[in-house]
Amino acid sequence: MTPEQQYHLDNEHKYAGFGTRLNQQVVEQVAQGLTQLDLRSQDVHGMDRMFYKVSSRIGDTQAFYNGFEAIIIKNMPANFKVDGLDLKDLEIRLSAPPQPFHGKNDPAGQFEKVLEEYQVGVKADMAKLYHQNKDLFYKVAFAYKEVLEPLIKADRKAEVDQGIAALMGNDIRKQWFPADQGITRVEAFNLLDEIDHQRAVYKTYRVHEKKGGEEAATAPVQSPEGESATKEARKTYGVWLLLDYVDVEANHPEGKLQNPTKHGNRLLERIDDNYGFDIRAVLPRFGWKGTDSDKVIDDLAKALEKGNKVEVAPIDQSKYETVFIYANPRAKTITIEDHEGNRLPHAMFLTEAARQERSEKHQNQPFNGHAFRVANRPTQKAAGAGEEGEAHEKKNSNPHARIVQDGKGKGHGVS
């Protein structure tokens, strides 16, 4: 690997949200003579875990970042100690199993001895975990499948596979994000985090043009600090992305996909700018403390565009000191939740000007059947729909929302 290839790959991983955490793995795998790199990373989000499997390749003259598989495992505590078992210690060992001594003599068979001792210890701890918490056992078995699968007895493999399958689509979910989608590490978590209260991510893509002006494939626009920080004007467009959980068979206990794509992915719903949702126009309609400048509104909008759930303080704190908000592009608004995850009505947090505008709008709008149906929907659902109405919550209720296949990951740069 040349210095130029290493520099390029380090930057690609950085823009994908991994910072420098993959750099040493790249050096070590290249030193082993590998050209197809399999890089790993983890994050802890309270009781939930994110596992990332990053794919990159070293070519003859270039290096390529292909994308990553993101796996979320819900209710997998980082600190679990019972009966002499320390899950954190076990996971450290599972993350770094013994490796053969590449290029070194091992006349005494030292590696085989180390490997046998390692496997005996791991199997003993996994047996303890199985008897204490089977669901947690299955989650660990899935997260570290490459290490643990060879250690599972043949007559127990079917049981373990069934236990994992029962959790798939619910406590365990995964998605392949190719490089050309430009999804970052944090955005992947936000897309996978919740099914009932989904969060969306906003991406800006650049349209490449073929000769003759015909539009071709798109690629993500790099971050401002990237090398290609728009030195020339390029045609770009923005889309909100959400994972399509409706595509899962409703009555299937394993959350089996009806129409899995090449990588077994869920499909992506895309809501483009022509749909008319402008997060920067929506935010000033609500009264949050400290959001009285364009810069603060812009910073808040950028956080929401990454799919984050943001904690804000209402100006009127008579009922809530702080609440959480996140973008809801289907309804052209934001969703507001309390600390227990209950959706709250917008009317409680609108500015005086927005209340007045809303009142005048309702006074000038004749009462009709549609308004009656909306008013009689369950309170929780109606509260999260926003003042534009719940019709937008229905999948594909607008011509600008599209379901697309997962990309092919041809090594584009990402933001």
Mean pLDDT of 274-280: 94
Who has greater pLDDT, 202 or 206? 202
* pLDDT of 409 higher than 80: no
* pLDDT of 381 higher than 80: no
Task: Take residue 16 and report the two structure tokens written for it.
Answer: 């994908």
Contact by Cβ (8 Å): 330, 271: yes
Domain termination residue (choose one: 145, 168, 191): 168
Look at residue 236 and tell me if it is in a domain. no
CA separation for the pair 163, 235 (Å, rounded): 49
The residue segments making up the domain with residue 321 are 279-393
Contacts of 121 (CB under 8 A, 6+ apart): 93
Mean pLDDT of 206-223: 56
- pLDDT level of residue 222 (50, 70, 90 thresholds): low
Long-range contact list for 245-248, CB < 8 A, 24+ apart? Answer: 245/195, 245/198, 246/395, 247/403, 248/169
Who has greater pLDDT, 128 or 99? 128
Task: Take residue 296 and report the two structure tokens written for it.
Answer: 């603060």
Strand partners, 85: 82
- pLDDT level of residue 366 (50, 70, 90 thresholds): low
Q: How many folded domains does the chain comprise?
A: 2
- pLDDT level of residue 266 (50, 70, 90 thresholds): confident
Q: Pairing mode, if any, of strands 236-243 and 201-209? A: antiparallel
pLDDT of residue 106: 59
Phi-psi region of 101 (alpha: psi -120 to 50; beta: other; left: phi over 0): beta
- Per-residue three-class SS string for the chain: CCHHHHHHHHHHHHHHHHCCCCHHHHHHHHHCCCCEEEEEEEEEECCEEEEEEEEEEECCCCEEEEEEEEEEECCCCCCCEECCEEHHHHHHHHHCCCCCCCCCCCCCCHHHHHHHHHHHHHHHHHHHHHHHCHHHHHHHHHHCHHHHHHHCCHHHHHHHHHHHHHHECCCEEEEEEEHHHCCCHHHHHHHHCCCCCCCCEEEEEEEEECCCCCEEEEEECCCCCCCCCCCCCCCEEEEEEEECHHHECCCCCCCCECCCCCCCCCCEEEEEHHHCCCHHHHHHHECECCCCCHHHHHHHHHHHHCCCCEEECECCCCCCCCEEEEEEHHHCEEEEECCCCCECCHHHCECHHHHHHHHHHHHCCCCCHHHHHHHCCCHHHHHCCCCCCHHHHCCCCCCCEEEECCCCCCCCCCC
Look at residue 161 and tell me if it is in a domain. yes
Query: How remote is the C-alpha of 395 from its chain's centroid?
Result: 20
Task: Take residue 109 and report the two structure tokens written for it.
Answer: 């068979």
Neighbouring C-alpha atoms within 13 Å toward the C-beta of 133? 17
* pLDDT of 260 higher than 70: no
152: phi then psi, degrees, rounded to nearest 5 = -85, 130
- pLDDT level of residue 25 (50, 70, 90 thresholds): very high
Look at residue 224 and tell me if it is in a domain. no
* pLDDT of 287 higher than 80: yes
Mean per-residue pLDDT of the chain: 80
Q: What percent of the chain shows pLDDT beyond 70?
A: 74
CA separation for the pair 269, 239 (Å, rounded): 9
Look at residue 265 and tell me if it is in a domain. no
pLDDT of residue 201: 97
Look at residue 147 and tell me if it is in a domain. yes
pLDDT of residue 220: 67
Note the pLDDT tens digit of each residue in 312-365: 999 988 899 999 999 999 999 999 999 999 999 999 999 888 888 877 776 666
Contact by Cβ (8 Å): 333, 325: no
Rank 123-132, 226-235, 370-379 by mean pLDDT and report only the highest. 123-132
Rank 100-109, 207-216, 240-249, 294-303 by mean pLDDT and report only the highest. 294-303
- Going 286 to 292 to 298 to 302, the CA torsion angle's sign is negative
* pLDDT of 403 higher than 50: no
385: phi then psi, degrees, rounded to nearest 5 = -80, -25
Contact by Cβ (8 Å): 175, 188: yes
Pick from 6-10, 99-103, 177-181: least confident: 99-103
Who has greater pLDDT, 86 or 100? 86
Give pTM, 2 decimals: 0.78
- pLDDT level of residue 161 (50, 70, 90 thresholds): very high
Find tokens 């009142």 and name the residue.
359
Domain termination residue (choose one: 134, 168, 202): 168
* pLDDT of 233 higher than 60: no
pLDDT of residue 252: 44
Look at residue 375 and tell me if it is in a domain. yes
Domain termination residue (choose one: 123, 153, 168): 168
Mean pLDDT of 101-120: 76
- Integer Rg of the chain from CA: 25
CA separation for the pair 300, 281 (Å, rounded): 12
